[in-house]
Structure 1
Amino acid sequence: MGSASSSSAAAAAAEVKLWGGRFQQRTTNAVESFSESVSYDKKLYKEDLAGSCAHAVMLAKQGLMSEEDRDAILKGIAEIEARIESGNFTWRSDREDVHMNVEAALTDLIGEPAKKLHTARSRNDQVATDVRLWCRNAIDNLVKKIIALQIALVQLALDNEGLVVPGYTHLQRAQPILLQHLLLAYVEQLERDAGRLKDCRCRINFSPLGSCALAGTGLPIDRFMTAEALGFTAPLRNSVDAVSDRDFLIEFLAANSIIAVHLSRIGEEWVLWASEEFGFLIPSDAVSTGSSIMPQKKNPDPMELVRGKSARVIGDLMTVLVLCKGLPQAYNRDLQEDKEPLFDSVETIGTVLEVTTEFSQNVTFNRKRISASLSAGHLDATTMADYLVNKGIPFRTSHDIVGKAVALAISKDVELSKLTLEELRSINPVFEDDVYEYLGVENAVKRFQSYGSTGASCVKEQLQYWCEKLKLV
């Protein structure tokens, strides 16, 4: 009984809600605590203030408030922003969200004029506007971080000119490739990642402001004016769609998830390469950790975490997908739950990009270990098949001949290049002395010439393209 009385007393002492005119009872503490979102959506304060300024200017121009009230509102908003920036603003959970906190604080500050700011506006279109503005800025920042990682990878490629490494398929040694070629594959993936974010930004950049709760308004507002003031391409055409759509969030989180997968694959490859079993990659002490029990250990932990955090980003996407899948039109309070996964996805991808960039800047490649590994796996077998094709033998027949040559080399525990001409001719008389110009990993790499291949001239063209694009020359 005492607990219930205490809860009722606390609720009675709470501030009257700005939406509370038709209510006879106040919300309980439990409901208020459960419903509030200001603890995390206060992150949107800059966007919320910007939207309010644009809205106030439009209302004054359309004769829906006086210029004096507009100026008072703009001055008050500037004061609130200064307080927030300096840490002197009190965020109150009984004011529910960032929008009500700002509006109530503005009313405390300037009085009656503040009450005109919500004319022809709902928290439904307000939050949709704020989130679109926030996503737009977040994408711009993520694209910058992607470019920084691309630059680090291209620089790493420039620092390792001519280094041949085993190329893998099915995690089995396949063909020799230049390390530069592999590093530039990462750069290409990141370019598509940046492209997806930019495409997504185009669809984000439409304004919901003025759509109100869902039906628009009968007041003479100018949605094109506020859209232009906030840097949007145009207002969204349909007010129901404007307040209920979260496609742009799903698309954004999907793009982040693909980035996370790409970075996870880099992480996986580099964790493998840093192992004793591979020994190809040596992270510096600055980006490694040790073991609490095994003093000899040096772990590439940052890249393991890069790999692990991809699950978190994918989970954020799944959260919003499931959140939206059963919602009727138009706005539903469920959509309040979109912000935490959004913020988490963006923050996680941002830090993962930064750490991967830093790791890339603090690794070297063990040329001796890599060189020693190249003799295993008969990486020049396909190049030998190309040799036979050039001799006029159909590829399938060439494939069979080379398979037999590989079997012979395995039986003798030698590389293909160590088989004698007599031994090769015992398989097929087409072999001549010039076959040795195709054998060995260095010769094999030199033979690649198709566009986009690992041949030195092709890789040089790729590097030149990226150096110019990323302004490294």
Structure 2
Amino acid sequence: MTTKTLLASLALATALTGWSASPLMAQDPRDDFDWLDRMNRASAVMLADQGVITPEQAKTIADTIEQVYALSSEPGFSRSGYHLGLEPLMIEIGGVDISRLHTGRSTIDMGRSGLRLRERDLLLSTYEQLINTRQALLDYAAKYPNAIVPGYTLGVQAQPISLGHYLTAYAGAFERHADYIEQTYDVVNYSPMGSAAMGTSSYPIDRQQLSDLLGFTAPIRNSFDSVHLATLESAMHIVGVTSAIAMTSSQLSSDLENQFRMVKPWFTFPYDLDGGSSIMPQKQNPGGVNSTRTGASDVVGIGAAYMFDSIKSASGDTDMIGEEPIEALTATTGVLKRIEDMFEVFEFHEDRALDVVLGDYATATELANTLQREANIPFREAHHIAALVVNFGRTNDLRPIDITYEDFKAVYAEAAEELQLPAELALGEESFLAALKPQNMVEKSQGFGGPQSSEVASMIEEMNSTVASDKAWLEQQQSALAEADAKLDEAFAALLK
């Protein structure tokens, strides 16, 4: 292995095992200062258009905003999103007339707007990662659509399913979460700007123009609502959708953790990407799986703490509008990225998964179904006979495929006497042996959304189509925001002339 390859493997292993000192999280493309700068530019344009400030004052304000933005990249510059922290520097550069920029607005409506602008960006980042994670699951499902894997209920092997069926289940859950993000985005993308502290202003502040320049859908109709009710409500949508994503992610990582406890897990990491032990040479720790579950727990914890803390707030308690929704979105994106990364490198051992299924009586339900369908035995009695077959096999340390037709006939004879069924067994050897085969049970499924190959192929195709539609929705939102950015830049540039 070359040094370059070794370093690349080490970097991926660090991300997967969670050994990094900082969690794997999405990075907010713009920070608080960037959004304060955009709000200042929008305010300057609107105030000039409304005649609240003169063209000369507008140019001075615009020049000052440009100079401050240039300084913001200097070492030691505090990139705060708090206007009153920045205003002294602006006055020092442009004079006290610069304070006219704050006409008709408050740190309250600015704070609420800045929070929504950041939440909006992060919602789209989480949505994009959700698309990538779903695609990774669907691509993996397409590689092994009909591979047999065990399905569990209450932690006990229950029935065989296919890997394609299992992975499309999680892809389907994440698809619903994507719908939830779209709904949440529609709630978040409304503007409080121009509401001031609660009752707007005696100046002709154009809230619609501010909303348009910042890429919002529209201003929130009631100014009191916009700064004291709506922001907390939209935050609840965010912690709701992130908690839902975290719960699904935790279930998936729990499933993966459970199979890693087996001597021969059917999902493994490549050897050079696994987390080894400092003392036990044989150990291969699934650090990426563990850290995914831990990250999901963190997301739910953030949301729960925020909801409990917020429930005590009155409408004017501005300190209750915190960073938790931002933290929840950032952490959720990191959890989803870990899942994508794992399924990019997972090695699947089809023989191991099948061997686990063959080692237990997961096909007993199909034996009961076959007895009812072909021998005309009522299901409850057929269920009892299948249970007796299971007990016989376990008592004699036999796997299902080791039970002979003669063994089955002997079990049936005892059951027939007990249940007063016909002494002659109306189920042939071929049907009996087929009923115990997991591949047969999976393929015989006829229900909508079942594990049979035809349904799995259909679900993969449908979900890939939905992924494509979701990509189009994302591009539409990004284009709308880019267009608003361009319009603001153009309008602001006109002030500088």
* 1:318 aligned onto 2:304: yes
Secondary structure of 2:235 counterpart: helix
Decide which of 436, 452, 457 is 1:455's aligned counterpart.
452
Secondary structure of 2:285 counterpart: coil
Shift of 1:137: 0.6
Give 2:479's aligned residue: none
Matches within 5 A, 1:424-443: 425-426=412-413, 427-428=415-416, 429-433=425-429, 434-443=431-440
Give 2:59's aligned residue: 71
Give 1:4's aligned residue: none
Shift of 1:300: 0.8
Shift of 1:200: 0.8
| Bigger mean CA offset, 418-427 vs 311-320 | 418-427
> Whole-Å Cα distance in 2 between the matches of residues 127 and 254 of structure 1?
22
Shift of 1:435: 3.3
Q: Is the 8 A contact 2:190 2:219 kept in 1?
A: yes
Shift of 1:81: 2.8
Q: 1:250 to 1:109 in 2, by over 3 A?
A: same
Q: Output one character per residue of 1:161-207: Cα deviation in whole Å (capped at 9) or x when no partner.
A: 33101111111111111111111111112112222221111111111
* 1:133 aligned onto 2:129: no
Q: 1:239 to 1:467 in 2, by over 3 A?
A: closer
* 1:270 aligned onto 2:253: no
In structure 1, give the amino acid aligned to 2:404.
L
Q: Is the 8 A contact 2:172 2:463 kept in 1?
A: no
> Whole-Å Cα distance in 2 between the matches of residues 287 and 79 of structure 1?
48
Shift of 1:424: 5.6
Unaligned regions of 5+ residues in structure 2, if any?
A: 1-27, 417-424, 470-497
* 1:236 aligned onto 2:220: yes
TM-score by length of 1: 0.84
Matches within 5 A, 1:187-336: 187-245=171-229, 246-277=232-263, 279-330=265-316, 332-335=317-320
Q: Is the 8 A contact 2:270 2:345 kept in 1?
A: yes
Decide which of 102, 112, 115 is 2:96's aligned counterpart.
112
Secondary structure of 2:284 counterpart: coil
> Whole-Å Cα distance in 2 between the matches of residues 322 and 468 of structure 1?
39
Decide which of 353, 359, 372 is 1:370's aligned counterpart.
353
Identity of aligned residues (%): 26
Q: Is the 8 A contact 1:149 1:356 kept in 2?
A: yes
Give 1:356's aligned residue: 339
Shift of 1:471: 4.9
Q: How many residues align?
A: 425
> Whole-Å Cα distance in 2 between the matches of residues 232 and 333 of structure 1?
22
Give 1:445's aligned residue: 442
Q: Is the 8 A contact 1:152 1:357 kept in 2?
A: yes
Secondary structure of 2:161 counterpart: strand
Secondary structure of 2:150 counterpart: strand
**Greater relative contact order (CA < 8 Å, ≥ 6 in sequence):** 2
Q: Is the 8 A contact 1:268 1:307 kept in 2?
A: yes
> Whole-Å Cα distance in 1 between the matches of residues 145 and 450 of structure 2?
15
* 1:155 aligned onto 2:155: no
Q: Output one character per residue of 1:240-291: Cα deviation in whole Å (capped at 9) or x when no partner.
A: 2211231111221221122122222222221222234452221124542121
| Bigger mean CA offset, 54-63 vs 434-443 | 434-443
Shift of 1:217: 1.5
Give 1:27's aligned residue: none
Unaligned regions of 5+ residues in structure 1, if any?
A: 1-39
Q: 1:322 to 1:470 in 2, by over 3 A?
A: closer
Shift of 1:333: 4.1
Shift of 1:450: 0.8
| Bigger mean CA offset, 449-458 vs 344-353 | 344-353
Q: 1:425 to 1:271 in 2, by over 3 A?
A: closer
